[in-house]
A and B are shown apart, each in its own frame.
Chain A
Amino acid sequence: MSRTNTQKFGTGVITAVILGLCIFPFFAKPYLVEVAMIFFIWIILAQSYRLIVTIHDWQLYHIVIYGVGAYASGMFAKNLGIPVFVAIPLGGVVASLFGVLVTSILLRSTGWGFYIATYGLAELVRLTWLKFRNPFGGSTGIINIPYPPVIGGIDFGDAIPYYFFNLIVMLAILYMLFRIEKSQIGDAFKAVSMDPELAASTGINIPRYRLLACAIGSFFAGVAGGLLVHRLGAVDPKLFNITSMLYLLIWVVVGGTNTFWGPIIGVTVMYTLFELSRPLIQLRPAFFGLAMVLVLLFLPGGLEGLFSKLIGQWRNPNKPPATETE
Chain B
Amino acid sequence: MYKPITPYRIRGETRVVPILEVKTLSRYFGGLAALKNLNLTIEKGEIRGIIGPNGAGKTTLFNVISGVYRPTSGQIVYMGGKRIDRLSSSKIAKMGIVRTFQRTAIYHDFSVLKNVTIARHLHAKENIFGVFAGTVKKLERKNQAKALEIVEFMGLGHLKEESASNLPHGHQRALGVAIALACEPEVLLLDEPLTGMTPTEKAHMIDLIRKIHEQDITILIVEHDMRSVMEVCDYISVLDFGTLLVEGPPAEIQNDENVITAYLGTEDIITGHSLS
Contacts and interface: CB of A to CB of B under 8 A. Distances in A.
B131 A200 contact: no
B122 interface: yes
Nearest to A326: B108
Contact of B121 (A176, A195, A203, A325): A203
A212 B127 CA distance: 11
Contacts of A325: 108, 165
B121 A187 contact: yes
A311 interface: no
Interface in A309-326: 325
Interface in B53-100: 66, 68, 88-91, 93-94, 98-99
Interface in A161-213: 176, 179-180, 183-185, 187-188, 190-191, 194-195, 197-198, 200-206, 212
A187 B117 CA distance: 9
B43 interface: no
B25 interface: no
B107 A198 contact: yes
B109 interface: yes
A203 B180 CA distance: 10
B124 interface: yes
B128 A206 contact: no
B189 to A, nearest CB: 10
A202 B98 contact: yes
Among A201, A204, A206, find the residue whose CB has the most chain B CB atoms closer than 10 A. A201
A256 to B, nearest CB: 14
Contact of A197 (B98, B105, B128, B182): B105
Contacts of A176: 132
A200 B92 CA distance: 10
B222 interface: no
A203 B136 CA distance: 19
B58 to A, nearest CB: 17
A205 B93 CA distance: 10
Given A203-B94, A205-B90, A325-B165, A183 B131 contact: yes
A212 B121 contact: no
Among B94, B105, B118, find the residue whose CB has the most chain A CB atoms closer than 10 A. B118
A318 B68 CA distance: 49
B106 interface: yes
B198 to A, nearest CB: 24
B101 interface: yes
A176 B66 CA distance: 36
Contact of A201 (B98, B117, B128): B98
Given A179-B131, A191-B107, A191-B118, A204 B165 contact: no
Contact of B89 (A179, A184, A185, A201): A201
A252 interface: no
Given A203-B90, A205-B90, A179 B179 contact: no
A260 B201 CA distance: 38
A308 B132 CA distance: 29
Nearest to B166: A325
Contacts of B118: 187-188, 190-191, 202
Contacts of B119: 202
A216 interface: yes
Contacts of B105: 195, 197-198, 201
Contacts of A205: 88, 90-91
B122 A203 contact: yes
Among B107, B117, B140, B182, find the residue whose CB has the most chain A CB atoms closer than 10 A. B107
12 contacts: A183-B136, A184-B126, A184-B131, A184-B136, A185-B126, A187-B117, A194-B109, A195-B106, A198-B101, A202-B93, A202-B179, A203-B183
Given A191-B121, A200-B93, 8 more contacts: A176-B132, A184-B136, A185-B126, A187-B121, A188-B126, A201-B99, A203-B93, A204-B121
